[in-house]
Amino acid sequence: MTTNEYLDDTDETNRPRLLAYGILREPPAPFFSHQVVVLKVARIWTDHVEPRRLGTVAVAPVDVVLDRHRHLVVQPDVLFIAAERLSIVENQVWGAPDVVAEVMSPGTRSYDEDERMEWYREYGVREYWRFDLTTESVTIHDFTRASAVRRARGNTVVESSVLPELRAAAFTFFA
């Protein structure tokens, strides 16, 4: 399937889906616990971003066209686009968000951990946050700093290189 077919010839849906180099994937709906964490991440990020007018936070399903010609379209669980880059939003997001968050689900874990992370790195996402429901941990891959990785659990504070002054204990995303 081409990017144009995906965007123009398929019905609008709230179901999660992904176009990976021309192959349409439609995983099942996420579990309730997954969506609870997605909402908390979005709330914490939005409460930080909006008063500072840093940009915009959005949640899936929203199509992010990473590569129109290679037919790569993803739907990150939560994403942030900096104010100075909001021009990439036009019905879909046309390019890499600044920060992406994915909550690990058993059915999508293998490509969330490996495949998607590589796509995000390759196409210019600045930070990739991965939330693990099993261990209640947060892993931040900071692609702006030679792929630095930070992990947090419990009371350990999570900090972002991209979202200035964002500080939150890891447990707050799971509590």
pLDDT tens digits for range 104-121: 976 555 555 688 899 999
Kindly report the average pLDDT of the chain as a whole number.
92
pLDDT in tens, 44-99: 999 999 999 999 999 999 999 999 999 999 999 999 999 999 999 999 999 999 99
CATH code for residues 3-173? 3.90.1570.10
pLDDT in tens, 4-25: 999 987 777 788 888 999 999 8
CB-based contact 124:99 (threshold 8 Å): no
Q: Over pLDDT 90: what percentage of the chain?
A: 77
Q: What is the model's pLDDT at position 23?
A: 92
Domain boundaries, the chain: 3-173
Instruction: Return the DSSP state at 85.
Output: G
